[in-house]
């Protein structure tokens, strides 16, 4: 078997496969999604999209208890959702190996914050490994399973966007099928009520001391001596920046970032002049060194915000100029709702009605951008309904407040907000944008699509019945019918009860087929009033004062037609196959 150029996430999937993983669970989240998508292609492995990260974690933990190797993957903020089982599973430990892959996003390429997963590792007392390229990622997954079983603990494998979404050469190997372990009933280990948990907490602390000692001799923690005036401590992708920026420096590369290989660091510190920790985000390694009484420099030289780079390392340590943030005066090109996106009409209406919108996370977050400008808040998945409820409790006279949430996000963590509003006699109107997929992360199935991760048919969650069962008023409307959407929003926000409006139409990218029709603007009829530009459709272009529809981009949704007071937007059937 040869070497392949593969995505960091593919390398992780391959590593888990070769290590004999039996159960892999996840809720999608950039930049971690591809791992589980790829694993779903291996017939030897049971895989699933869980409704959220907490359930994904618990499912993997249950599989570990039963005696097989299990893996759960998520993006950094997903670990907030899974934090509850994470912390206590550090007490119970595992049976079959349990690996938790968490992808951080320094620089926030597609996230709402830049929290640092390494702090969770320390807070929960769970070892954390960090690979620096695809080949290491594959290797570290196997090591993580071995450590998990050897030390009886979950192990976190941390990646960042550059590793997860970077491609490099990886050597492919064979799958080794581990013998499943037997499950033996053991309440003192697995039933975490106080009497048992007290003992397990002591066990956890002892375990961490043992692992910390063993880390000193693990081959994934390596020292390379060069010029001894400068000694760099680093891990993960930052190692690559350091090697390129300072080829002559001595380097201690940590594969285990927590617990700290303290003796190894002390040995390194004794042999170099300036000891400098180079790390992205929080001063995590730096603070561990200081806790162990090892003086070092770190965040006095580097920002806590954003990614590092070769340039940032050179600028801090080699006197190079730091590239300034650029403002080249060029027009930005923010992402936009696609041409034909079913979310667009709702935001057009909400903007027109001047409604206060507690938004949520998904493609529909883009409803916040010009010209729709319809969203007032976005915090985390599921936050919108609870926030709308709170906003309204605080301002009982204001009726035009709504929550807007996607179908996948509603199932993930919106439903509890809805139950809250009903139970506590709220008057929230929650608009569920049901596009039959998890769009933002690249079209994953979820319980309401009626399909599994492997595209097999399954029981379809009925959102309407679910919301009714919660006690909310429910209306359903097509995303194409913006007049009806407007009427229903006006009606439901005026009523003093919790209500749900389900706006339905599949994501325009779902079937991959393009409509053979397009709209065009009759230049003679167009009065250049620009009303059609208010929906922010990327297919409608304004150049040199003339408004045109791009036939490459138009998805023939027809939303723009009703906005034109002069009937200038017309349908053209294209028979030529596109």
Ligand X SMILES: Cc1ncc(C[n+]2csc(CCOP(=O)(O)OP(=O)(O)O)c2C)c(N)n1
The residue ranges that bind ligand X (CB under 6 A) are 27-29, 53, 75, 77-78, 81, 361-364, 381, 406-409, 433, 435, 437-441
> Which one, 249 or 489, has the nearer CB to other proteins?
249
Provide the strand spans (E) within 176-266: 222-224, 227-234, 249-253, 256-258
- Binding positions for other proteins, 416-475, rule CB under 8 A: 441-442
- From ligand X, other proteins, none, which one binds at residue 334 (CB under 5 to 8 Å depending on kind)? other proteins
Least CB distance to ligand X at residue 101 (A): 14
> Which one, 303 or 458, has the nearer CB to other proteins?
303
> Which one, 201 or 530, has the nearer CB to other proteins?
530
What does DSSP say about strands 499-504 and 517-521: parallel, antiparallel, or unpaired?
unpaired
Task: Give, for 129, the enclosing helix (H) or strand (E).
Answer: strand 128-129
Q: Rounded distance, CA 550 to CA 555, Å?
A: 10
Q: Rounded distance, CA 354 to CA 375, Å?
A: 10
Angle (CA) 7 406 487, round 5°: 150
| Stretch in the footprint of other proteins (CB under 8 A) among 167-175, 203-211, 351-359, 385-393 | 167-175
Q: Rounded distance, CA 361 to CA 409, Å?
A: 7
Total residues belonging to the chain: 578
The contact mask relative to other proteins for 376-415 (x = CB under 8 A, - = no) is ----------------------------------------
The contact mask relative to other proteins for 324-363 (x = CB under 8 A, - = no) is --x-x-xxxxxxxxx------------------------x
| Of the candidate residues 80, 88, 112, 167, the single one contacting other proteins (CB under 8 A) | 167
| Stretch in the footprint of other proteins (CB under 8 A) among 36-44, 400-408, 510-518, 533-541 | 533-541
Least CB distance to other proteins at residue 103 (A): 11
| Of the candidate residues 541, 551, 562, 566, the single one contacting other proteins (CB under 8 A) | 541
Q: Rounded distance, CA 344 to CA 536, Å?
A: 8
Enter the tokens of residue 265.
């660091």
| Stretch in the footprint of other proteins (CB under 8 A) among 51-59, 235-243, 458-466, 492-500 | 235-243
The per-residue b/e assignment along 90-125, b for 16 or more CB within 10 angstroms, e otherwise, is bbbbbbbbbbbbbbbbbbeeebeebbbbbebbbebb
- From other proteins, ligand X, none, which one binds at residue 11 (CB under 5 to 8 Å depending on kind)? none
| Of the candidate residues 16, 170, 237, 474, the single one contacting other proteins (CB under 8 A) | 237
Enter the tokens of residue 478.
């097509």
> Which one, 83 or 531, has the nearer CB to ligand X?
83
| Of the candidate residues 543, 573, 575, 576, the single one contacting other proteins (CB under 8 A) | 543
Nearest CA to 557 among 340, 255, 283, 279?
Answer: 340
- From ligand X, other proteins, none, which one binds at residue 81 (CB under 5 to 8 Å depending on kind)? ligand X
Least CB distance to other proteins at residue 175 (A): 24
3-state secondary structure of 187: helix
- From other proteins, ligand X, none, which one binds at residue 381 (CB under 5 to 8 Å depending on kind)? ligand X
- From ligand X, other proteins, none, which one binds at residue 75 (CB under 5 to 8 Å depending on kind)? ligand X
> Which one, 231 or 362, has the nearer CB to ligand X?
362
| Of the candidate residues 180, 390, 506, 538, the single one contacting other proteins (CB under 8 A) | 538
- From ligand X, other proteins, none, which one binds at residue 491 (CB under 5 to 8 Å depending on kind)? none
Least CB distance to ligand X at residue 439 (A): 3
What does DSSP say about strands 70-75 and 227-234: parallel, antiparallel, or unpaired?
unpaired
| Of the candidate residues 122, 165, 292, 299, the single one contacting other proteins (CB under 8 A) | 165
Q: Rounded distance, CA 448 to CA 437, Å?
A: 8
Nearest CA to 434 among 489, 346, 504, 337?
Answer: 504
- From ligand X, other proteins, none, which one binds at residue 169 (CB under 5 to 8 Å depending on kind)? other proteins
> Which one, 95 or 409, has the nearer CB to ligand X?
409
Provide the strand spans (E) within 510-564: 517-521, 540-543, 546-549
547 within 8 A of 541, measured Cβ to Cβ: yes
| Of the candidate residues 95, 117, 168, 351, the single one contacting other proteins (CB under 8 A) | 168
Q: Rounded distance, CA 60 to CA 285, Å?
A: 29
Based on its alpha-carbon atoms, the radius of gyration of the chain, rounded to whole angstroms, reads 27
Least CB distance to ligand X at residue 213 (A): 35
Task: Compute φ and ψ for 522, nearest 5 degrees.
Answer: -75, 110
Please enumerate in sequence order all residues whose Cβ is within 8 A of that of 139, keeping only pairs 6 or more positions apart, or say none. 15, 131
Residue 302 DSSP symbol? S
Could you say whether residue 30 binds other proteins (CB under 8 A)? yes
Peptide bond into 379 cis (omega under 30): no
Please enumerate in sequence order all residues whose Cβ is within 8 A of that of 129, keeping only pairs 6 or more positions apart, or say none. 140, 143, 144, 147, 155, 156, 157, 158, 220, 255, 256, 257
> Which one, 323 or 516, has the nearer CB to other proteins?
323
Could you say whether residue 371 binds other proteins (CB under 8 A)? yes
Nearest CA to 518 among 569, 466, 467?
Answer: 569
Using CB under 8 A as the binding criterion, the count of chain residues that bind other proteins stands at 50
Q: Rounded distance, CA 274 to CA 99, Å?
A: 36
> Which one, 366 or 472, has the nearer CB to other proteins?
366
- From other proteins, ligand X, none, which one binds at residue 449 (CB under 5 to 8 Å depending on kind)? none
357 within 8 A of 385, measured Cβ to Cβ: no
Could you say whether residue 109 binds other proteins (CB under 8 A)? yes
Residues making contact with other proteins (CB under 8 A) = 5, 30-31, 109-110, 133, 161-162, 165-169, 237, 240-241, 243-244, 309-311, 323, 326, 328, 330-338, 363, 366, 369-371, 441-442, 509, 530, 533, 536, 538, 540-543, 552
């Amino acid at each position: 078997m040869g070497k392949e150029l593969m995505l960091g996430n593919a390398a992780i999937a391959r590593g888990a496969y070769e290590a004999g993983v039996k159960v892999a669970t996840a809720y999608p989240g950039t930049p971690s999604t591809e791992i589980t998508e790829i694993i779903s292609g291996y017939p030897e492995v049971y895989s699933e999209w869980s409704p959220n990260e907490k359930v994904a974690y618990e499912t993997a933990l249950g599989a570990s208890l039963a005696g097989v190797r299990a893996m759960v993957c998520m993006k950094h903020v997903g670990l907030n959702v899974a934090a509850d089982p994470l912390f206590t599973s550090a007490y119970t430990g595992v049976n079959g190996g349990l690996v938790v892959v968490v992808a951080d996003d320094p620089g926030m390429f597609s996230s709402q914050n830049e929290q640092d997963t390494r702090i969770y590792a320390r807070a929960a007392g769970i070892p954390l490994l960090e690979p620096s390229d695809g080949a290491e990622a594959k290797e570290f997954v196997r090591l993580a399973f071995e450590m998990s079983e050897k030390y009886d603990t979950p192990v976190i494998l941390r990646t960042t966007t550059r590793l997860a979404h970077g491609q490099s050469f990886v050597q492919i190997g064979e799958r080794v099928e581990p013998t499943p372990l037997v499950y033996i009933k053991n309440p003192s280990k697995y039933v975490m009520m106080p009497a048992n948990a007290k003992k397990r907490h002591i066990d956890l602390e002892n375990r961490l001391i043992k692992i910390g000692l063993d880390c000193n001799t693990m081959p994934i923690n390596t020292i390379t001596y060069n010029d001894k005036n400068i000694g760099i401590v680093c891990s993960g992708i930052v190692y690559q920046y350091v090697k390129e920026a300072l080829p002559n420096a001595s380097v201690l590369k940590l594969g285990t970032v927590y617990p700290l290989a303290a003796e190894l660091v002390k040995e390194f510190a004794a042999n170099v002049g300036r000891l400098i920790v180079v790390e992205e985000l929080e001063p995590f390694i730096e603070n561990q060194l200081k806790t162990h009484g090892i003086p070092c420099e770190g965040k006095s030289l580097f920002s806590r915000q954003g990614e590092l780079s070769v340039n940032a390392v050179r600028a801090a340590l080699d006197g190079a100029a730091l590239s300034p943030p650029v403002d080249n005066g060029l027009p930005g090109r923010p992402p936009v709702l696609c041409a034909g996106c079913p979310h667009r009409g709702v935001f057009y209406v909400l903007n027109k009605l001047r409604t206060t919108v507690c938004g949520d996370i998904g493609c529909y977050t883009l409803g916040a951008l010009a010209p729709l400008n319809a969203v007032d808040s976005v915090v985390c998945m599921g936050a919108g309904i609870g926030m709308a409820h709170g906003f309204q409790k605080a301002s009982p006279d204001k009726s035009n407040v709504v929550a807007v949430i996607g179908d996948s996000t509603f199932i993930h963590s919106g439903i509890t907000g809805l139950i809250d509003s009903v139970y506590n006699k709220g008057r929230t109107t929650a608009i569920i944008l049901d596009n039959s997929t998890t769009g933002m992360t690249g079209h994953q199935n979820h319980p309401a699509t009626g399909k599994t991760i492997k595209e097999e048919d399954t029981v379809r969650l009925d959102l309407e019945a679910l919301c009714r069962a919660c006690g909310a008023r429910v209306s359903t409307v097509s995303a194409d019918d913006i007049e009806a959407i407007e009427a229903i929003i006006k009606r439901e926000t005026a009523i003093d009860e919790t209500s749900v409006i389900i706006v339905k139409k599949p994501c325009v990218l779902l079937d991959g087929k393009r409509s053979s029709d397009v709209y065009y603007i009759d230049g003679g009829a167009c009065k250049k009033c620009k009303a059609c530009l208010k929906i922010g459709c990327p297919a409608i272009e304004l150049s040199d004062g003339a408004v045109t529809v791009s036939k490459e981009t138009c998805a023939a949704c027809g939303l723009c037609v009703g906005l034109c007071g002069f009937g200038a937007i017309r349908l053209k059937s294209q028979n030529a196959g596109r």
